[in-house]
Amino acid sequence: MGGGLRVLLRKFPETFRAVVRHELAHIVNRDIGRTYYAQSLWISVVLVTIVPLLVLGAFAVLRSTFVTITDRVSIADLRHFFLEKYPTYFWLIIQSLGLIGVVAWIWASILRTRESYADWRAALWDPSTH
């Protein structure tokens, strides 16, 4: 038990009991695995979408900078970049943000649901509500 919980036990014992009941409800509900599932889903999506997108963006910037330094940029190069490459990068960014948004929504809903059920079970154990 951390120092904050010891102080809570001394000053506000009912609040301390409510916190302990809530945490025990997580154990009884067996929802710890759901938390690990949501966290692993979030981490894998971040690694699969954001890291390659950053690498691709860095490569595009470095390559265009290198071409600019070593060679003069022609009108055809600019047209190629803005009409062919830029929409592809933009579309990849939009898709990645959409995927991250969906997974963040799933993650938040899983965690919100498990907290609600833990609160519900902890309230059932509270003798002052009966």
In contact, 76 and 14? CB cutoff 8 Å:
no
**What tens digit of pLDDT does each residue of 20-78 get?**
899 899 889 888 888 888 888 888 888 888 888 888 777 777 776 666 555 666 667 66
Percentage helix, strand, coil for the chain under 3-state DSSP, each rounded to 5: 90, 0, 10
Its pTM stands at 0.61
- Specify the amino acid at residue 58: A
Q: What is the pLDDT of residue 9?
A: 84
